[in-house]
Amino acid sequence: MLFTITNTLYRCGTNVNVAMVGSKVDQIMDIFYVRSLEKRPKKSRTPKNSNRLKQPSWNGSPSYMQRRYDMKKIEAVIKPFKLDDVKEALSEIGIYGMTVTEVNGYGRQKGHKEIYRGAEYVVDFVPKIKLEIVVSDDRAEETIETVRNAANTGKIGDGKIFVLNVEKAIRVRTGETDTDAL
């Protein structure tokens, strides 16, 4: 496809300097840097900043490249003792399904020191709980705030919340898809 477009641009009187495919998250864009084949007078040949290539704009992407997602995946890494508080708070707003995984990691907390039988040990990785919750787009903000409020102790190491777009969800038993599968 790049060859066909490049060939067409050449037949229209332009020379393609660079042709590439760019991508950003869920968008793909063909990018062409072109210049005219016709000769220009020497005076106007090298205008200021002619060596800079304009970067493509992702904001003005064609509508077929823009996708609206109807579901969000909320990943929260929290302190283990806050799991019951978060689970209870989510059930109060009608969110019942989640996946819970025991994980280890560190951030700004950078682990801690423990004393065992008189010897001091450095624990680099701190035990945490990772929650994965998929909700419809209209319930995402409420769910995020509920998790944040329930997991908050006000101390370092409370955790992080990540929000991702979900393209498709399928219930294995019934074959229901997307928000019906939640």
| Residue 86: per-residue pLDDT | 97
Encode pLDDT of 137-176 as tens digits: 999 999 999 999 999 999 988 999 999 999 999 999 999 9
Q: Which residues, 6+ apart, have CB-to-CB distance to 167 below 8 Å?
A: 69
The answer to whether 77 and 127 are in contact (CB under 8 A) is no
Residue 94 has pLDDT above 80, yes or no: yes
**pLDDT over 80 (residue 5):** no
What are the domain boundaries of the chain? 1-40, 71-181
Q: Please write the tens of the pLDDT for every residue from 43-89.
A: 444 445 444 444 444 555 555 445 667 899 999 999 999 999 999 99
Task: Quote the CA–CA distance of 150 and 14 in Å, as a whole number.
Answer: 60
CATH annotation of 71-181: 3.30.70.120
pTM of the model: 0.60
Q: What is the pLDDT of residues 95-129, one digit of tens each?
A: 989 999 999 988 776 666 777 788 887 777 889 99
The pLDDT assigned to 45 comes to 47
**What is the pLDDT, as a whole number, of residue 81?**
97
Q: What is the pLDDT of residue 156?
A: 86
Q: Tell me the C-alpha to C-alpha distance, in Å, between residue 63 and each of 5, 25, 42, 68, 128.
A: 20, 15, 41, 10, 41
Task: For residue range 19-45, list pLDDT tens digits in order.
Answer: 666 666 666 666 666 676 665 555 444
Sign of CA dihedral 10, 14, 17, 20: negative
